[in-house]
């Protein structure tokens, strides 16, 4: 079995992907065991297929009526059969086509076929398996989703470092691009970075000019001799509310930026298609120096990570995704839902404008996504969160004692002014007690 990993490593060793692999990443391979043999049999076993642990009768999988009836519109083979380790081929191909439609500058011929993973969190964790080892440092723009540190530090034993995304002294209302560039330059010969735009928790996405500057900073680090891994967490891709937001993923620019840059797009229909609980995500690799042979080797290593943990992603969720794409109602419904979220965003903007400047709360820049976040001054964010919950019946999320996140995506428009008046009032009252 070690020989299988060695074969993949030999393919990748001369590339950016090979240099970035963690010790676990180097050990990973896709075994030629039950799943691989079952895949061969699916194509060639015309008499009988006695490979996989499922129960069939007359060529159809057995399914309880309660299960089959719960997936109205899906055939039994779409509802209860195991999916291939890398995902259903039609789902992978359809998502790749969507990447091209949403990112016109992306050369689809020079990136990998997406691999299906059980949710974006699973995708990030698999990337940590492949590329993060003890002693490594994973950087992310801060404030950031708390799961990044959990995955990097607790699961992989690596270090985690936040690069401040915002600095009023450097660029009020936008990204602290000089600070981000300096952090990349100071990271040494290997840079491992995760970028999440639209950002959770701030709700900010780069403008077109900022996106160009970010790409230039990554290229500068690569030009200086660093190997750069950029994980693009695009969970909230497409929720852009201002005209100057960059409408394409940074992955489109990173994928062919430099031979020393490996870009990974982690996305899926979870938020984009309002299907959070279906837990379906995709991993796509892109690098100027990689060929299809290299991508195939990387995908097999990812398949090894999947096979050795969750085995495969949810089958009915992938078929439901395909049916959503084919359904004539989806486009108009998504447009209507987007309009609803944009109206909430505009209402939040108005509420913030009416209350700022405020002595205790400063909103971080926000122009996209599901959230906005307050930086707390003179009041502890966790104390404010508990006060709002216990006294006002309003749920929010605190980060690191200094930040309070508000998910306007889940608040009806009519309630938004009530929520924000309560937040500003509670912060002032708590500060007055200290």
Topology classification of domain 331-433:
3.90.1150
Question: Which parts of 46-97 are beta strand (E)?
Answer: 56-57, 60-61
pLDDT 10s digits, 384-422: 999 999 999 999 999 988 999 999 999 999 999 999 999
Given its phi and psi angles, is residue 391 left (phi above 0), alpha (psi -120 to 50 degrees) or beta?
alpha
404, with CB counted inside 10 A (0-12, 13-18, 19+), is: buried
pLDDT 10s digits, 150-188: 999 999 999 999 999 999 999 999 999 999 999 999 999
Contacts 24+ apart (CB under 8 A), 394-398: 394/419, 394/422, 394/423, 396/423, 397/201
CA-closest candidate to residue 26, choices 17, 36, 37: 17
CA-closest candidate to residue 96, choices 331, 299, 258, 245: 299
pLDDT 10s digits, 96-130: 999 999 999 999 999 999 999 999 999 999 999 99
This prediction has a pTM of: 0.95
Radius of gyration in angstroms for the set of CA atoms belonging to the chain, rounded to a whole number: 23
- DSSP structural state of residue 139: E
Residue 39 pLDDT? 73
- DSSP structural state of residue 225: T
CATH number of 2-30+85-326: 3.40.640.10
Q: Say how far apart CA 361 and CA 432 lie, in whole Å.
A: 13
Q: How far apart are the first and last CA of the chain?
A: 63
Q: Are 41 and 315 in contact (CB under 8 A)?
A: no
pLDDT range class, residue 434, cuts 50, 70, 90: low
pLDDT 10s digits, 2-13: 899 999 999 999
CA-closest candidate to residue 364, choices 179, 166, 195: 166
Any idea where the domains of the chain sit in the sequence?
A: 2-30+85-326, 331-433
pLDDT 10s digits, 63-100: 888 888 889 889 999 999 999 999 999 999 999 999 99
Phi, psi (deg, nearest 5) at residue 364: -70, 155
| pLDDT over 80 at 362, yes or no | yes
b/e per residue 352-382 (b: at least 16 CB within 10 A): beebeebebbebbbbbbbbbbbbbbeebbbb
Q: What HEC string does 353-406 produce? A: HHHCCCCCEEECCCCECCEEEEEECCCCHHHHHHHHHHHHCCCCEEECCCEEEE
Residue 396 pLDDT? 97
Residue 52 pLDDT? 76
Looking at the chain, how many residues does it have?
434
| Interior angle at CA 270, CA 265 and CA 274, nearest 5 | 135
Residue 158 pLDDT? 97
To the nearest whole number, what is the mean pLDDT of the chain? 95
């Amino acid at each position: 079995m070690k020989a299988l990993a060695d074969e993949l490593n030999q393919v990748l060793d001369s590339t950016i992907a090979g240099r970035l692999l963690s010790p676990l990443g180097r050990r990973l391979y896709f075994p030629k065991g039950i799943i691989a043999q079952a895949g061969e049999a699916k194509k060639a076993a015309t008499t009988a297929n006695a490979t996989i642990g499922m129960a069939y009768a007359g060529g159809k999988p057995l399914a309880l009526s309660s299960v089959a009836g719960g997936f109205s519109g899906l055939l039994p083979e779409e509802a209860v059969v195991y999916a291939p380790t890398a995902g259903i081929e039609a789902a992978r191909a359809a998502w790749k086509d969507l990447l091209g439609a949403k990112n016109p500058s992306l050369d689809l011929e020079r990136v990998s076929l997406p691999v299906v993973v059980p949710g974006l969190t699973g995708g990030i964790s698999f990337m940590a398996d492949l590329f993060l080892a003890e002693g490594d440092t994973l950087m992310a723009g801060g404030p950031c989703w708390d799961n990044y540190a959990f995955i990097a530090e607790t699961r992989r034993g690596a270090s985690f470092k936040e690069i401040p995304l915002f600095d009023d002294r450097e660029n009020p209302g936008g990204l602290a691009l000089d600070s981000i560039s300096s952090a990349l330059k100071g990271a040494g010969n290997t840079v491992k970075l995760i970028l999440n735009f639209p950002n959770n928790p701030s709700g900010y996405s780069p403008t077109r000019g900022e996106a160009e500057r970010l790409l230039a900073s990554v290229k500068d680090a690569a030009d200086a001799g660093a190997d750069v891994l950029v994980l693009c967490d695009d969970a909230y891709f497409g929720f852009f509310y201002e005209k100057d937001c960059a409408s394409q993923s940074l992955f489109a620019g990173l994928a062919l930026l430099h031979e020393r840059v490996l870009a990974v797009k982690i996305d899926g229909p979870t938020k984009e298609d309002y299907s959070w609980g279906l837990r379906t995500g995709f991993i796509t690799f892109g690098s100027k120096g990689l060929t299809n042979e290299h991508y195939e080797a990387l995908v097999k290593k990812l398949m090894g990570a999947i096979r050795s943990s969750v085995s495969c992603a949810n089958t009915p969720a992938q078929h439901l995704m395909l049916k959503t794409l084919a359904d004539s109602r989806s486009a108009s419904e998504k447009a209507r839902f987007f309009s609803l979220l944009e109206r909430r965003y505009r209402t939040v903007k108005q509420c913030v404008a009416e209350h700022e400047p405020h002595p205790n709360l400063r909103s971080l820049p926000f122009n996209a996504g599901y959230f906005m976040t307050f930086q707390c001054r003179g009041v502890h964010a966790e104390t404010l969160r508990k006060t709002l919950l216990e006294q006002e019946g309003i749920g929010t999320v605190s980060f690191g004692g200094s930040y309070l996140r508000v998910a306007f995506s889940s608040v009806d428009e009519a309630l938004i002014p009530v929520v924000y008046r309560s937040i500003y009032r509670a912060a002032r009252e708590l500060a007055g007690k200290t």
